[in-house]
Amino acid sequence: MPAACIGIGSNLGDRLQNCKRALRLLEQRGIRVKAVSGAYETKPWGGQSVAGQPDFINMAAVVETDISPRALLNVLLEVEKEMGRVRERKWGPRIIDLDILLYADEVMDQPGLKIPHPLMHERDFVLRPLAEIAPEALHPVLKKTVRQLLEEFSD
């Protein structure tokens, strides 16, 4: 059964509970959560476009599923919608944000779905929680582990 790595974030309301609720909703939809990182409080990412936003709680999860990457994305979007996510502007504040970071060793570039996540290697708030639970997960394009990407980012 393929493993996928999911990024989880929230900067509105009870941020930690939002992240935990999203994980429960994924499990209710048949996505098996195998590992969950600790919670990391981080500044919003995106330069001036995020000025004045509340800080995020970011987490990562390793999940197992037998559905396709596109079907998994649809489940993530469904959970975001159920939780009340509103997409008003890019990188705007959000009650929940769920992203596919990695899906097995898949490389995909389709409208609305890019795997691995195209910015994961540039984001400390993605790499740090993911390295906690999946340090040896391999970025299939860069051919580096999450641990290596984090070490390079930290340099």
Q: Read off the pLDDT of residues 31-78 as tens digits, 9 standing for 90 and up.
A: 999 999 999 998 876 665 566 788 899 999 999 999 999 999 999 999
Is 155 a member of any domain?
A: no
**Quick one: pLDDT at residue 150?**
94
Q: Catalytic one among 94, 109, 124, 155?
A: 94
Any domain includes 152 = no
Domain contains 10: yes
Task: Give the pLDDT score at 54.
Answer: 87
Please indicate whether residue 99 is annotated as part of the active site: yes
Q: What is the pLDDT of residues 80-112, one digit of tens each?
A: 999 988 776 666 678 999 999 999 999 999 999
Please say if the pLDDT value at position 15 is more than 60: yes
Nearest alpha-carbon partner for 8 in 36, 45, 29: 36
Residue 153 lies in a domain: no
Query: Which pLDDT does position 49 carry in this prediction?
Result: 55
Which one of 15, 99, 123, 128 is the catalytic residue?
Answer: 99
Q: Which two tokens stand for residue 113?
A: 């779905």
Percentages of the chain per state (helix, strand, coil), in multiples of 5: 35, 25, 40
Domain encompassing residue 106: 3-119
Q: How far apart are CA 45 and CA 125, in angstroms?
A: 9
d(CA 91, CA 89): 6
Residue 85 is among the residues annotated as catalytic for this protein:
yes
As given in the structure block, the two tokens for residue 49 are 């476009």
How many Cβ atoms from other residues are within 10 Å of residue 13's Cβ? 13
**Per the domain annotation, does 107 fall within a domain?**
yes
Active-site option among 15, 85, 123, 128: 85
CATH number at residue 103: 3.30.70.560
Residue 67 domain-assigned?
A: yes
In this prediction, residue 48 carries a pLDDT of 59
CA distances, 91 to each of 28, 43, 60 (Å): 27, 12, 18
Q: Which of 24, 29, 70, 97 is catalytic?
A: 97
Count of domains observed in the chain: 1
